[in-house]
Amino acid sequence: MSLTELPPLPYDYSALEPYVDATTMQIHHDKHHATYVNNVKAALDKFPELKDLGLVDLNKSVGTSKVPQDIATAIRNNGGGHYNHSLFWKVMGHPTGNNGPSDGLKAAIDESFGSMDEFKNKFNAAAAGRFGSGWAWLIKEDGKLAVTSTANQDNPLQSIADVKGIPILGLDVWEHAYYLKYQNRRPEYIAAWWNVVNWEQVNKNFELAKLGEVPV
Protein backbone atom coordinates (compact mmCIF):
# COMPACT_ATOMS: atom_id res chain seq x y z
CA MET A 1 0.00 0.00 0.00
CA SER A 2 1.51 3.30 -1.12
CA LEU A 3 2.13 5.97 1.48
CA THR A 4 1.48 8.77 -0.97
CA GLU A 5 -1.22 7.51 -3.34
CA LEU A 6 -4.96 7.17 -2.78
CA PRO A 7 -5.97 3.52 -3.28
CA PRO A 8 -8.96 3.07 -5.58
CA LEU A 9 -12.28 2.13 -4.06
CA PRO A 10 -12.69 -1.63 -4.75
CA TYR A 11 -16.32 -1.23 -5.89
CA ASP A 12 -18.71 1.40 -7.24
CA TYR A 13 -19.85 4.20 -4.96
CA SER A 14 -23.36 2.72 -4.99
CA ALA A 15 -22.28 -0.87 -4.21
CA LEU A 16 -23.20 -0.63 -0.52
CA GLU A 17 -26.70 0.75 -1.07
CA PRO A 18 -29.12 0.95 0.64
CA TYR A 19 -27.05 0.67 3.82
CA VAL A 20 -24.33 3.17 2.93
CA ASP A 21 -25.33 5.74 0.32
CA ALA A 22 -23.34 6.50 -2.83
CA THR A 23 -22.91 10.21 -2.07
CA THR A 24 -21.36 9.46 1.31
CA MET A 25 -19.01 6.91 -0.26
CA GLN A 26 -17.88 9.35 -2.95
CA ILE A 27 -17.20 12.18 -0.51
CA HIS A 28 -15.67 9.85 2.07
CA HIS A 29 -13.22 8.27 -0.36
CA ASP A 30 -12.51 11.06 -2.86
CA LYS A 31 -12.36 13.92 -0.35
CA HIS A 32 -11.67 12.71 3.18
CA HIS A 33 -9.32 9.80 2.43
CA ALA A 34 -7.61 11.79 -0.31
CA THR A 35 -6.93 14.61 2.16
CA TYR A 36 -5.23 12.21 4.58
CA VAL A 37 -3.01 10.90 1.78
CA ASN A 38 -2.10 14.41 0.60
CA ASN A 39 -1.24 15.48 4.14
CA VAL A 40 0.95 12.41 4.67
CA LYS A 41 2.76 13.21 1.43
CA ALA A 42 3.34 16.81 2.50
CA ALA A 43 4.70 15.71 5.89
CA LEU A 44 7.01 13.09 4.38
CA ASP A 45 8.36 15.55 1.83
CA LYS A 46 10.07 17.19 4.82
CA PHE A 47 11.60 13.88 5.96
CA PRO A 48 11.84 11.70 2.82
CA GLU A 49 13.80 8.99 4.64
CA LEU A 50 10.55 7.97 6.34
CA LYS A 51 8.97 7.03 3.02
CA ASP A 52 10.81 3.71 3.20
CA LEU A 53 8.83 2.70 6.30
CA GLY A 54 5.63 1.82 4.48
CA LEU A 55 2.12 2.51 5.78
CA VAL A 56 2.03 -0.19 8.47
CA ASP A 57 5.44 0.60 9.96
CA LEU A 58 4.71 4.32 9.80
CA ASN A 59 1.65 3.74 11.98
CA LYS A 60 3.63 1.53 14.35
CA SER A 61 6.10 4.41 14.67
CA VAL A 62 3.47 6.90 15.84
CA GLY A 63 4.37 8.06 19.33
CA THR A 64 7.99 6.96 19.05
CA SER A 65 11.21 8.80 18.34
CA LYS A 66 11.20 7.46 14.77
CA VAL A 67 8.77 10.23 13.82
CA PRO A 68 10.29 13.72 14.14
CA GLN A 69 8.39 16.05 16.44
CA ASP A 70 7.85 18.52 13.58
CA ILE A 71 5.49 16.10 11.83
CA ALA A 72 4.37 13.87 14.73
CA THR A 73 0.80 15.20 14.87
CA ALA A 74 0.41 15.21 11.10
CA ILE A 75 1.58 11.61 10.83
CA ARG A 76 -0.57 10.46 13.74
CA ASN A 77 -3.72 12.00 12.31
CA ASN A 78 -3.17 11.52 8.60
CA GLY A 79 -1.06 8.37 8.58
CA GLY A 80 -3.71 6.88 10.84
CA GLY A 81 -6.48 8.10 8.57
CA HIS A 82 -4.76 6.64 5.52
CA TYR A 83 -4.30 3.22 7.10
CA ASN A 84 -7.75 3.11 8.70
CA HIS A 85 -9.59 3.92 5.49
CA SER A 86 -7.45 1.62 3.36
CA LEU A 87 -8.57 -1.24 5.62
CA PHE A 88 -12.14 0.05 5.91
CA TRP A 89 -12.92 -0.02 2.17
CA LYS A 90 -11.78 -3.63 1.91
CA VAL A 91 -13.82 -4.96 4.83
CA MET A 92 -17.00 -3.80 3.14
CA GLY A 93 -18.70 -5.14 0.03
CA HIS A 94 -22.00 -5.68 -1.77
CA PRO A 95 -24.72 -6.85 0.65
CA THR A 96 -25.44 -10.00 -1.39
CA GLY A 97 -21.83 -11.15 -0.99
CA ASN A 98 -22.05 -11.54 2.77
CA ASN A 99 -21.29 -15.19 3.68
CA GLY A 100 -20.33 -14.73 7.34
CA PRO A 101 -17.14 -15.62 9.20
CA SER A 102 -15.12 -18.71 8.39
CA ASP A 103 -15.22 -21.70 10.74
CA GLY A 104 -11.84 -20.67 12.13
CA LEU A 105 -12.82 -17.07 12.77
CA LYS A 106 -16.19 -18.08 14.22
CA ALA A 107 -14.45 -20.48 16.62
CA ALA A 108 -12.07 -17.72 17.70
CA ILE A 109 -15.00 -15.33 18.20
CA ASP A 110 -16.86 -17.92 20.26
CA GLU A 111 -13.76 -18.54 22.38
CA SER A 112 -13.11 -14.84 22.98
CA PHE A 113 -16.66 -13.50 23.35
CA GLY A 114 -18.93 -16.50 23.93
CA SER A 115 -20.93 -16.19 20.73
CA MET A 116 -21.28 -14.19 17.52
CA ASP A 117 -24.17 -12.24 19.04
CA GLU A 118 -22.10 -11.33 22.09
CA PHE A 119 -19.23 -10.22 19.85
CA LYS A 120 -21.55 -7.96 17.85
CA ASN A 121 -23.06 -6.55 21.03
CA LYS A 122 -19.62 -5.67 22.36
CA PHE A 123 -18.47 -4.25 19.02
CA ASN A 124 -21.67 -2.20 18.65
CA ALA A 125 -21.25 -0.83 22.17
CA ALA A 126 -17.66 0.19 21.43
CA ALA A 127 -18.77 1.94 18.23
CA ALA A 128 -21.81 3.65 19.73
CA GLY A 129 -19.99 4.59 22.92
CA ARG A 130 -16.99 6.24 21.29
CA PHE A 131 -17.43 9.89 22.27
CA GLY A 132 -16.96 12.21 19.32
CA SER A 133 -15.10 10.86 16.32
CA GLY A 134 -13.25 7.58 16.10
CA TRP A 135 -13.29 3.88 15.26
CA ALA A 136 -14.36 0.52 16.64
CA TRP A 137 -12.07 -2.46 16.07
CA LEU A 138 -11.85 -6.22 16.21
CA ILE A 139 -8.18 -7.01 16.80
CA LYS A 140 -5.88 -9.91 17.54
CA GLU A 141 -4.27 -9.14 20.87
CA ASP A 142 -1.72 -11.53 22.41
CA GLY A 143 -3.16 -14.66 20.84
CA LYS A 144 -6.83 -13.85 21.34
CA LEU A 145 -9.44 -11.58 19.82
CA ALA A 146 -10.51 -8.34 21.47
CA VAL A 147 -12.81 -5.41 20.76
CA THR A 148 -11.56 -1.89 21.31
CA SER A 149 -12.08 1.65 20.08
CA THR A 150 -9.81 4.57 19.30
CA ALA A 151 -10.34 8.32 19.05
CA ASN A 152 -10.04 10.35 15.88
CA GLN A 153 -7.76 8.52 13.39
CA ASP A 154 -5.77 6.56 15.96
CA ASN A 155 -5.60 2.78 15.55
CA PRO A 156 -4.40 -0.25 17.54
CA LEU A 157 -1.08 -0.39 15.64
CA GLN A 158 0.07 2.87 17.16
CA SER A 159 2.13 2.90 20.34
CA ILE A 160 -0.20 5.50 21.87
CA ALA A 161 -3.23 3.17 21.65
CA ASP A 162 -4.73 2.05 24.96
CA VAL A 163 -5.18 -1.47 23.56
CA LYS A 164 -2.68 -2.59 20.92
CA GLY A 165 -3.10 -5.37 18.39
CA ILE A 166 -3.51 -6.29 14.75
CA PRO A 167 -6.69 -4.86 13.20
CA ILE A 168 -8.99 -7.45 11.62
CA LEU A 169 -12.19 -5.42 11.26
CA GLY A 170 -12.76 -1.69 11.70
CA LEU A 171 -15.78 0.61 11.65
CA ASP A 172 -15.55 4.35 11.05
CA VAL A 173 -17.87 6.27 13.38
CA TRP A 174 -16.85 9.77 12.34
CA GLU A 175 -19.98 11.72 11.43
CA HIS A 176 -18.81 12.07 7.82
CA ALA A 177 -19.18 8.27 7.49
CA TYR A 178 -22.92 8.30 8.11
CA TYR A 179 -24.46 11.74 8.67
CA LEU A 180 -25.94 12.32 5.21
CA LYS A 181 -28.11 9.21 5.54
CA TYR A 182 -28.47 8.62 9.27
CA GLN A 183 -27.97 12.11 10.76
CA ASN A 184 -27.45 11.69 14.53
CA ARG A 185 -28.66 8.06 14.56
CA ARG A 186 -25.28 6.41 14.94
CA PRO A 187 -26.67 3.12 16.37
CA GLU A 188 -28.89 2.77 13.28
CA TYR A 189 -25.84 3.21 11.03
CA ILE A 190 -23.90 0.63 13.06
CA ALA A 191 -26.73 -1.92 12.82
CA ALA A 192 -27.08 -1.37 9.06
CA TRP A 193 -23.32 -1.63 8.49
CA TRP A 194 -23.24 -5.33 9.40
CA ASN A 195 -25.13 -5.96 6.13
CA VAL A 196 -22.11 -4.80 4.10
CA VAL A 197 -19.29 -6.45 6.06
CA ASN A 198 -17.11 -8.36 3.58
CA TRP A 199 -16.49 -11.48 5.64
CA GLU A 200 -14.28 -12.99 2.95
CA GLN A 201 -11.81 -10.15 3.49
CA VAL A 202 -12.22 -10.27 7.28
CA ASN A 203 -11.44 -14.00 7.18
CA LYS A 204 -8.25 -13.23 5.22
CA ASN A 205 -7.32 -10.53 7.73
CA PHE A 206 -7.78 -13.04 10.55
CA GLU A 207 -5.49 -15.57 8.86
CA LEU A 208 -2.83 -12.90 8.35
CA ALA A 209 -3.13 -11.77 11.97
CA LYS A 210 -2.60 -15.35 13.17
CA LEU A 211 0.75 -15.23 11.36
CA GLY A 212 1.59 -11.89 12.97
CA GLU A 213 1.09 -10.02 9.70
CA VAL A 214 -0.86 -6.76 9.47
CA PRO A 215 -3.54 -6.53 6.77
CA VAL A 216 -3.86 -3.35 4.76
CATH number of the structural domain spanning residue 197:
3.55.40.20
CA end-to-end distance (rounded Å), the chain: 7
Enclosing domain of residue 108: 21-216
Q: What is the pLDDT of residues 170-179, one digit of tens each?
A: 999 999 999 9
Cα 143–198–124 angle (5° rounding)?
Answer: 65
| Mean pLDDT along residues 23-31 | 98
Query: Is residue 84 within 8 Å of residue 170, measured between CB atoms?
Result: yes
Nearest Cα to Cα of residue 81 among 145, 14, 147, 3 = 3
16 falls within a domain = no
Percent of the chain with pLDDT over 70: 100
pLDDT over 90 (residue 99): no
Give domain status of residue 12, yes or no.
Answer: no
Measured distance CA(46)–CA(48) in Å, rounded: 6
Q: What is the pLDDT of residue 85?
A: 98
Q: What is the pLDDT of residue 98?
A: 75
Is the per-residue pLDDT at 97 higher than 90? no
Residue 5 lies in a domain: no
Mean pLDDT of the chain: 97
- With respect to residue 196, please indicate whether it lies within any of the assigned structural domains: yes
How confident is the model over 115-140, as pLDDT tens digits? 999 999 999 999 999 999 999 999 99
The confidence band for 96, taking pLDDT boundaries of 50, 70 and 90, is: confident
Region 33-50 average pLDDT: 96
Maximum Cα–Cα distance for the chain, whole Å?
A: 48
Residue 34 has pLDDT above 90, yes or no: yes
Q: Mean pLDDT throughout 4-13?
A: 96
> In this structure, is residue 71 part of a structural domain?
yes
Q: Is residue 184 part of a domain?
A: yes
Residue 75 lies in a domain: yes
Instruction: Give percent of the chain above pLDDT 90.
Output: 95
What is the domain count for the chain? 1
Give the burial class of 171: count Cβ atoms within 10 A of its Cβ; 0-12 exposed, 13-18 middle, 19 or more buried.
buried
Residue 53 falls inside a structural domain:
yes
Residue 182 in this model has a pLDDT that exceeds 80: yes
| pLDDT score of 156 more than 80 | yes
Confidence of residue 143 (pLDDT cuts 50, 70, 90): confident
- When mean pLDDT is compared across 50-54, 80-84, 165-169, the lowest value belongs to 50-54
Beta strands in 32-156 (DSSP E): 134-141, 144-151
